[in-house]
A and B are shown apart, each in its own frame.
Chain A
Amino acid sequence: MAKNAMLIDVSRCIACRACQVSCKQWNRLPAVKSSFAGSYENPSGLSSATWRHVRFRETVEKGEVKWRFLSFGCMHCKDASCVFVCPVPGALTRRDDGTVYLDEQKCTGCKYCISACPFDVPHYDDAKGKVYKCNLCADRTANGLTTACAKTCPSEAIRFGDRDSLIKDAKSGGKKIYGENELGGLSVMYVLQEFPSFYGLPERPAMPVTTAFWKKVLKPLGYIGVGTTVAAIILHYIAIGPKKYKGGE
Chain B
Amino acid sequence: MTNHWIDLKNSDCILVMGSNPAENHPCGFKWAIKAKEKGAKIISVDPRFTRSSSIADIYAPMRPGTDIAILGGMINYAIENNLYHKEYVLEFTNAATLIDPQFGFMDGLFTGFDKEKKTYDRATWKYQTGADGKVMEDRKLQHPHCVFQLLKRHFSRYTPDMVSKISGMPKEKFLEIAKLFCSTGAPDKVGTMMYAMGWTQHSKGVQNIRTATILQLLLGNVGMPGGGINALRGHINVQGATDFALLYHDLPGYLGIPSKKDHPTLKDYLEKTTPKTGFGSNKPKFFKSLLKAWFGNAATDKNDFCYDYLPKASGNYSHMALFEDMYAGKLKGFLVVGQNPAVAGPNGNLERKAMEKLEWLAVIDFYETETAAFWKAPGVNPKDIKTEVFLLPAASNVEREGTYTNSGRWVQWGFKAIESEADRKTDGWYIYQLGLRLKKLYAESKEKKERPILDLTWDYGEGTPDAEKILREINGYAIKDVKKDGKVVVKAGENMPIFALLQDDGSTACGNWIYSGIFPKENRSKNRKPDKGDTIGANLGWAFAWPANRRIIYNRASADANGKPWSEAKKYITWDPNAELPDGKKGKWVGPDVPDFKADLAPTAKKEEKGPFIGIGGRDAFIMRPDGKGGLFSPLAEGPFPEHYEPVESPVKNLLSPIQFNPVVKIWASDMDKLGDANKYPIVGTTYRLAEHYLSGSASRNLPWLCELMPELFVELSPELAKEKGIRTGDNCTIETARGKVKAKALVTERFKPFNLDGKKVHLIGLPWHWGYMGICTGDIVNNLTAHIGDPNTFIQESKAFLCDIRKGG
Contacts and interface: CB of A to CB of B under 8 A. Distances in A.
A36 B745 CA distance: 7
B49 A67 contact: yes
A12 interface: yes
- Best-buried of B27, B59, B692 by chain A (most CB within 10 Å): B692
B707 interface: yes
Contact of A58 (B27, B745, B750): B750
A68 to B, nearest CB: 7
Contacts of A196: none
A114 to B, nearest CB: 23
B807 interface: no
Interface string A10-31: 0110111110110011000011
Contacts of A34: 707-709, 711
Interface stretch (B50-58, B143-151, B402-410, B583-591): B50-58
Nearest to A66: B54
B54 A68 contact: yes
B711 A21 contact: no
Given A16-B691, A58-B751, A65 B30 contact: no
Contacts of B692: 17
A57 B691 CA distance: 17
A67 B705 contact: no
Given A64-B59, A154-B26, A154-B29, A14 B750 contact: no
A12 B27 CA distance: 12
A161 interface: no
A35 B714 CA distance: 11
A249 to B, nearest CB: 9
Interface in A56-70: 58-60, 64-69
Interface in A159-202: none
Given A16-B23, A34-B711, A155-B26, A60 B750 contact: yes
B29 A155 contact: yes
A25 B704 CA distance: 11
Contacts of B33: 12, 14, 155-156
Interface in B458-505: none
A14 B705 contact: no
A107 B797 CA distance: 57
B22 interface: yes
A14 B54 CA distance: 8
B749 interface: yes
A35 B54 contact: no
Interface string A64-79: 1111110000000000
B82 to A, nearest CB: 30
A35 B751 contact: no
B22 A16 contact: yes
A15 B30 contact: no
B758 interface: no
What DSSP secondary structure best describes chain B's contact surface?
helix
Contacts of B55: 11-12, 14
Interface string A202-216: 000000000000000
A67 B751 contact: yes
A30 B703 CA distance: 11
A43 B22 CA distance: 21
Interface in B739-755: 745, 747, 749-751
A69 B705 contact: no
A135 interface: no
Interface in A35-63: 35-36, 38-40, 42-43, 58-60
- Best-buried of A11, A42, A67 by chain B (most CB within 10 Å): A67
B373 interface: no
Contacts of B710: 40, 42
B609 interface: no
Contacts of B730: 36, 38
Nearest to B751: A65
B53 A17 contact: no
Given A14-B51, A67-B53, A154-B30, A35 B712 contact: yes
B729 interface: yes
A20 B691 CA distance: 13
B699 interface: no
A21 B703 CA distance: 11
A25 B27 contact: no
Nearest to B58: A64
Given A15-B691, A36-B714, A20 B49 contact: no
Nearest to B752: A65
A32 interface: yes
Given A35-B712, A36-B745, A38-B730, A21 B751 contact: no
Contacts of A25: 705
Nearest to B779: A36
A54 to B, nearest CB: 9
B26 A36 contact: no
A21 B747 CA distance: 23
A156 B30 contact: yes
A12 B29 CA distance: 10
- Best-buried of B22, B705, B707, B729 by chain A (most CB within 10 Å): B705
Contacts of A31: 704-705, 707-708
B705 A38 contact: no
A59 B49 CA distance: 12
B706 interface: yes
B705 A36 contact: no
A17 to B, nearest CB: 6
A35 B711 CA distance: 6
A156 to B, nearest CB: 6
Contacts of B711: 34-36, 42
Nearest to A68: B54
Contacts of A64: 59
Contacts of B712: 35-36
B749 A58 contact: yes
A69 B54 contact: yes
Given A65-B751, A155-B26, A42 B691 contact: no
A21 B53 CA distance: 23
Interface of B: 22-23, 26-27, 29-30, 33, 49, 51-55, 59, 691-692, 704-712, 714, 729-730, 745, 747, 749-751
Q: Please provide the 6 A-B residue pairs with the shortest distance between their CB atoms, ordered closest to farther.
A: A31-B704, A14-B22, A31-B708, A36-B712, A67-B54, A16-B26
Given A14-B33, A14-B52, A43-B708, 12 more contacts: A24-B705, A31-B708, A34-B711, A35-B711, A36-B712, A38-B729, A38-B747, A65-B53, A155-B29, A155-B30, A156-B30, A156-B33
Interface of A: 11-12, 14-18, 20-21, 24-25, 30-36, 38-40, 42-43, 58-60, 64-69, 154-156
10 contacts: A12-B30, A14-B29, A14-B52, A15-B22, A16-B23, A16-B26, A31-B707, A36-B714, A39-B729, A58-B750
